[in-house]
Chain A
Amino acid sequence: MSALTLDQAIASLPGVTQQQSVFTAVIGVTLAVAGIVVALFFALLTLERVGLFGVLKAIGSPSRSLAGGLVLQALLIAGGAFVLGGAMTWGLSRVIPKTVPLQLLPRRVVITAVGLAVTAVIGSAISFRRIIRIDPATAVGGS
């Protein structure tokens, strides 16, 4: 017979591992959905600004800096969302009954922040190709 650590002992209780994997899956799906929302949002934003990007390219802005600006915007929005979401979660943790087991772990917070940042970058990167393909010559001619 070998000794179990506390974590191992808890994980071997019936249902605990399954429960945890459900939570992990929920978090994963949430991040994936966040990524899709960011991608769609910035695809729409880019579509709306095709004319403006064409003009900026015409006056000499490289595609690189336009794409960089887009990523920066996505990161700022993700950062804002993280702060807002964090504050709401913390607020909620103060008002829900003590019987609901809820623990805010620093490690989880960091993982969520990093996950959101990565998701924002990947989501906004979907629009890079469209930005690169905008022809600066479209700025001249038609109104």
Chain B
Amino acid sequence: MPALELKDVRKVYGRGDTEVVALDHATLTVGDDEMVGLVGPSGSGKTTLLSIAGGLLAPTSGTVRVGPHEISDYDTRDLTRFRREFVGFVFQGANLVPFLTAKENLLVAADIAGRSGADANRRAVQLLEELGLGGRMNNTPSQLSGGEKQRVAIGRALMNEPELVLFDEPASALDTKLGEQVMELIRQEVKGRGTAAVVVTHDTRMTHFADRTVEITDGRLAA
């Protein structure tokens, strides 16, 4: 079963004269352990596509399926539950909770999903060690470098063993070398777990980390 299946997805913002088509007839299938790069200039609709795939936005028309979940007609409450249990997000600016330590930031994700306790704690420690942050667990984001913060964010996204992890420009705030390290780490982590991933980037230097790359221009996909 594919991890993500978008069929004929269309997303329109505004209406009437101010109507903007952000996505048009977008069809995309991501296999259950595939890492797909999504490349396009700003304004191409890649953020919209990522948001729809992750249940943050509802499509205007078309169907969205993540694993066995057909989310196109979920309501807000169902989408919230879906997001906390089945997808992981890594945002552009890491977006960690500023007053919590690295480990606590991972535990927040578990806590939201109602999985706190010794197991969650073990998992957080294990993830941080894998991400090379074994010695930084008790540091708050302000004490971490940009690359370290992004690694914590990756750990948070993987905390609840999602079926699909969505990365929004994970390397854009980092220099080339750090960006490549983070991309390599992402590849190791998702491949090691057999998790599907979609990585949005406008940086063509980062695309070779993906199994395949899909280009998006003016809301249309081209393989």
**A17 beta carbon closer than 8 Å to chain B:** no
Chain B residues in 8 Å Cβ range of A61: 80, 84, 112
Mark contacts of B168-210 with chain A using CB atoms, 8 A cut-off: 1 yes-contact digit, 0 otherwise: 1000110000000000000000000000000000000000000
Q: Are B56 and A60 in contact (CB under 8 A)?
A: no
Chain B contributes a number of interface residues (CB within 8 A of A) equal to 29
**Bound CA span A139–B91, Å:** 7
**Shortest Cβ-Cβ A-B pairs, 9 listed:** A60-B84, A141-B47, A60-B83, A137-B56, A55-B95, A61-B112, A143-B93, A137-B57, A140-B51
Partner of A56, one of B47, B54, B112: B112
Q: Are B80 and A52 in contact (CB under 8 A)?
A: no
Question: What residues make up the interface of B, taking CB atoms closer than 8 Å to A?
Answer: 47, 50-51, 54, 56-57, 77, 80-85, 88-89, 91-93, 95, 97-98, 108-109, 112-113, 156, 168, 172-173
Instruction: Label chain A's interface by main secondary structure.
Output: helix
For residue B102, give the distance in angstroms from its CB to the closest CB of chain A.
16
Q: Which residue of A lies closest to B52 (CB)?
A: A137
Which A residues, 37 to 56, have Cβ-Cβ distances below 8 Å to chain B? 51-52, 55-56
Mark contacts of A44-79 with chain B using CB atoms, 8 A cut-off: 1 yes-contact digit, 0 otherwise: 000000011001111111100100000000000000
